[in-house]
Structure 1
Amino acid sequence: MLVSKLHYHRRTNVLDIHFDNGEQVSLSAEFLRVHSPSAEVQGHHQGPPKLVTNKKAVAINEIEAIGHYAVRLQFDDGHQSGLYSFGYLAELCSQAEQLWQTYLERLKAANAQRDASIAIRVTP
């Protein structure tokens, strides 16, 4: 499946992913951030994936097309090293429920949380 269109909703921090077969799936910026394909998150070498915490309010600042096969998502926490191939995005979409439940279980087991470790308020 090829990605035909991406639409990011800044208010809700949700990315709509449209595929060439007409399917459309919405994933949160938090989900995409904690499942980044970067070596930093996936683990260098044979190590287990890193448990990324405190990203409930993370947002995507920029989406950059990489050829006709991937995008780079730049998050407001400074993370931008993962290339989301269209194949990886399709994999995330098809396994989203299972991946999210596994993530929540890992958080619980590590006594970690999704919320920011300190409250931050930005005033315009």
Structure 2
Amino acid sequence: MRLNVQETHRIPTEIKLHQRSAVLEVSFDDGNIFKLPCEYLRVYTPSAEAVGHGPGQEVLQVGKENVTITEIRPMGNYAIAPTFSDGHNSGIYTWDLLYKLGSEYDTLWPAYLNELEAAGHQRQEPQ
């Protein structure tokens, strides 16, 4: 699931982790506020573990229904690096990537669910 991220030059004005609902809320300087489920962020991780090192090397992320974020590390003034409850911590989410994931959620999430189904995996409802 390689994402083509274009530069938006949008900057978050606030990032809040809602641990109970497992949602990362990101407010941007243009007034947009995106509520991104931890599972969604985890399956769209930009790390090489998931996207591979070239086209066609992507690894479908499965079984992430109950994953949460346990820590968020700032990466300079351009990104965050969350640590997920499944131990994954190598994805760097730039502001542009977070904006894309928020603004294209209604397209990207169903695309992921379709990929899961096509690969023969059944997503379980989070507990």
TM-score by length of 2: 0.87
1:71, distance to aligned residue in structure 2 (A) = 0.1
1:35, distance to aligned residue in structure 2 (A) = 0.1
In the comparison of the two structures, how many residue pairs are matched? 117
Does residue 58 of structure 2 align to residue 27 of structure 1?
Answer: no
Match of 1:2 among 11, 20, 26: 11
1:59 corresponds to: 68
Letter in structure 1 aligned against 2:68: A
1:87 corresponds to: 96
Does residue 88 of structure 2 align to residue 99 of structure 1?
Answer: no
The CA distance in 2 between the partners of 1:35 and 1:6, in whole Å, is 18
- Secondary structure at the counterpart of residue 6 of structure 1: strand
2:50 corresponds to: 41
1:97, distance to aligned residue in structure 2 (A) = 1.1
The CA distance in 2 between the partners of 1:27 and 1:99, in whole Å, is 12
1:21, distance to aligned residue in structure 2 (A) = 1.5
The CA deviation string for residues 50-108 of structure 1, in whole angstroms up to 9 with x for no partner, is: 11001110000001111110000100101000100001111111111111011000111
Q: Which runs of 5+ in 1 are unaligned?
A: none
1:78 corresponds to: 87
Q: Which runs of 4+ in 1 moved over 2 A?
A: 45-49, 113-116
Contact 1:57 1:115 in 2 (8 A): no
TM-score by length of 1: 0.89
The CA distance in 1 between the partners of 2:21 and 2:103, in whole Å, is 21
Q: Which runs of 5+ in 2 are unaligned?
A: 1-9
Over the residues paired in the alignment, what is the CA RMSD in angstroms?
A: 1.5
Question: Which structure carries more relative contact order (alpha carbon 8 Å, separation 6+)?
Answer: 2
The 10-residue stretch of structure 1 (58-67 or 48-57) with the greater mean CA deviation from structure 2: 48-57
